[in-house]
Chains A and B, each alone.
Chain A
Amino acid sequence: MKEIIKITLSLTAICVAAALILGAVFAKTDHARKENEEKRNKELVQGLLGYGASAKAPENLKVYSVYRYVISEGKTLTLGYLVPLKDKKHALVQVDLSGKPGKVTQVDADETKLGERDTRDAAINGVLPKGAQATYAETFHVADMDGKRFGYVVEGTTQGFKTFVELMVSLEPDFTIKGVGIKKSEEDPGLGDEIKKDFFKNQFVGKTAELLKTLKVVKEPLPTDYLPALEPALAKRDKLSPDQVAKIKEKHVKDDIYALTGATISSRAVTNGVKDIVRKFVYRLDILTDALKKENVQVVF
């Protein structure tokens, strides 16, 4: 009996000490980690719009985030879009499932509060009537330059080989793909993880919404002349001018996606994810623009 108490005490003491150390480390690092994550996210969005470490984004490029929520009120489901307004405030625009615009509610909260997931969820649930529950679905970003539409970056998730792959797709104003980014994935290193490589991601560039509809994955080797145009490092090695690269890409723009060796499932997952994200986004943006016009919401973009 005495030994059991001793054992219990010693194990409890170890657990408490470990918990205290972990708590202290968490408190010290949590803020910096979230900041880093946000910064990475922002860099990813800017990188997909064509600006990055090498080419700094110009001052007049403005990126606005729109958050999509699914709102359940009793048995009825509506969709809520949190949009930034011209007077620096935000509004929650509700649209029902058939696409008919509904209520528009003002959300009074500053930019930083809405940037973070937890505080944003609280702010939105705060303005909804009692009994309604909003669940976060996804984000898309609208980029404007000098008052003209510059492009979109849409986030989305797709089922990968083992876990989910979080994707970002950057689109031209006419919904041609400008770039694909992998935000988060846990594919096998050396196999499925190759989806992060430029030569795979860049195969999507230039595909129009029309081409995407019939796009599929083929198990064929990547044509040798196509590869240098997809990898910037190889284009440099082969001394290809930007014109030549554009020409090769033009020649292959109607090609299907060439599967990665040993990772057909991951290749298919990304391809289907991109197709799905673009198809849904085009449909949703149409409805949202319509709703904003009908309800006369003064959005900033």
Chain B
Amino acid sequence: MNRNIQLLWNGFIPENPIFRLALSLCPAVAVTTSVENGLALGLAVVFVQVCSSCTVAIFKSVIHPRVRIPAYVIIIALWVSVIDMVLPVINPDIYEQVKLFIQLIVVFAIIISRLELFASKEPLVPSFFDGLGMGIGFLFGLCLVSAIREFFGVGQIFGYDVQNVLGFKPSLLVMILPAGGFFVIGFIMATFNWVEYKITGKVPASGGGH
């Protein structure tokens, strides 16, 4: 398989940031109360991850290895500020929805860990695909968690009531509260491990944890 496609797939399932690496769980629990929020933040993360990975891959020879972490933070903050300024011009309505979370992206563990582990060692093209894969994996994770929480918590998907289709309306308040986020992420993680165990027959290694 082409290495670039493999990198994309790697971020999506085998090293999914939320369910396998267990990175950036804070935002994953905080914002996933509705699919809309999850989707918007996920897209912003894809943008920041891809741009930062590419920037670091291009300029890694200029960055002094002793101060690489501060340099990465500056680069991430730069792209976050750019999207924070450009988005209200392009689409003020979406910005109103996600402005709370955008500035938080600076401190997401997943972005800086990909810069440190991958983009600082590899050339531009693989870094781009790694960033894209990780971003999409994060987006997928957020959407999955928020869909489950929104469905069980308020009985809606994308803000539409499920009552008309199913004939009943689930409303478990705990799913919308932060505790519910941990439950859902825990159950999905367990499912991931169980599937891997069934396929490979090996007990999966535990994630990074942040």
Inter-chain contacts of B86 with A (CB < 8 A): 25, 29
Is B63 positioned at the interface, with any CB of A under 8 Å from its CB? yes
* B62 touching A10, Cβ below 8 Å: yes
* A189 touching B70, Cβ below 8 Å: no
Cross-chain contact of B173 among A29, A32, A186, A261 (Cβ < 8 A): A261
* A13 touching B82, Cβ below 8 Å: no
- As a 0/1 sequence over residues 18 to 60 of chain B, the CB contacts with chain A under 8 angstroms (1 = contact) are 0000000000000101100100000000000000000000000
Is A33 positioned at the interface, with any CB of B under 8 Å from its CB? yes
> How far apart are the CA atoms of A18 and B92 in the complex, in Å?
25
* B176 touching A36, Cβ below 8 Å: no
Inter-chain contacts of A15 with B (CB < 8 A): 74
> How far apart are the CA atoms of A188 and B70 in the complex, in Å?
31
* A18 touching B67, Cβ below 8 Å: no
Main SS at interface, chain A: helix
* A14 touching B63, Cβ below 8 Å: yes
> How far apart are the CA atoms of A33 and B33 in the complex, in Å?
28
Main SS at interface, chain B: helix
**CB nearest neighbor in B for A6:** B64
* A25 touching B85, Cβ below 8 Å: yes
Distance of A109 from chain B, by nearest CB (Å): 27
Distance of A59 from chain B, by nearest CB (Å): 26
Is A1 positioned at the interface, with any CB of B under 8 Å from its CB? no
> How far apart are the CA atoms of A6 and B92 in the complex, in Å?
43
Known A-B contacts A10-B62, A11-B67, A18-B78; the reply to A262 vs B88 at CB < 8 A is no
Cross-chain contact of B33 among A18, A22, A190 (Cβ < 8 A): A190
Distance of A272 from chain B, by nearest CB (Å): 23
* B153 touching A36, Cβ below 8 Å: no
* A29 touching B89, Cβ below 8 Å: yes
Interface size class of B (residues with CB under 8 A): 20 to 34
Known A-B contacts A33-B89, A190-B153; the reply to A10 vs B78 at CB < 8 A is no
**CB nearest neighbor in B for A193:** B33
* A262 touching B177, Cβ below 8 Å: yes
Known A-B contacts A10-B64, A14-B71; the reply to A189 vs B88 at CB < 8 A is no
* A22 touching B173, Cβ below 8 Å: no
> How far apart are the CA atoms of A186 and B100 in the complex, in Å?
7
> How far apart are the CA atoms of A11 and B31 in the complex, in Å?
33
> How far apart are the CA atoms of A3 and B65 in the complex, in Å?
11
- As a 0/1 sequence over residues 1 to 38 of chain A, the CB contacts with chain B under 8 angstroms (1 = contact) are 00100110011011100100110011001101100110
Cross-chain contact of B37 among A10, A26, A30, A189 (Cβ < 8 A): A189
Known A-B contacts A7-B66, A29-B89, A36-B88; the reply to A22 vs B71 at CB < 8 A is no
Is B132 positioned at the interface, with any CB of A under 8 Å from its CB? no
> How far apart are the CA atoms of A240 and B68 in the complex, in Å?
63
Is B81 positioned at the interface, with any CB of A under 8 Å from its CB? yes
Is A293 positioned at the interface, with any CB of B under 8 Å from its CB? no
Is B75 positioned at the interface, with any CB of A under 8 Å from its CB? yes
> How far apart are the CA atoms of A125 and B77 in the complex, in Å?
37
* A26 touching B89, Cβ below 8 Å: no
Residue of A15, A25, A33, A190 with most partner-chain B CB within 10 A: A190
* B62 touching A189, Cβ below 8 Å: no
> How far apart are the CA atoms of A189 and B41 in the complex, in Å?
13
Inter-chain contacts of A36 with B (CB < 8 A): 88-89, 92
> How far apart are the CA atoms of A186 and B102 in the complex, in Å?
13
Is A40 positioned at the interface, with any CB of B under 8 Å from its CB? yes
* B63 touching A10, Cβ below 8 Å: yes
- As a 0/1 sequence over residues 89 to 103 of chain B, the CB contacts with chain A under 8 angstroms (1 = contact) are 100100000001000
Inter-chain contacts of A11 with B (CB < 8 A): 64, 67, 70-71
* A22 touching B82, Cβ below 8 Å: yes
* B176 touching A10, Cβ below 8 Å: no
Is A191 positioned at the interface, with any CB of B under 8 Å from its CB? yes
Chain B positions near chain A (C-beta within 8 angstroms): 31, 33-34, 37, 62-64, 66-67, 70-71, 74-75, 77-78, 81-82, 85-86, 88-89, 92, 100, 153-154, 173, 176-177
**5 A-B pairs (CB sep. < 8 Å):** A7-B66, A14-B63, A18-B77, A189-B31, A191-B177
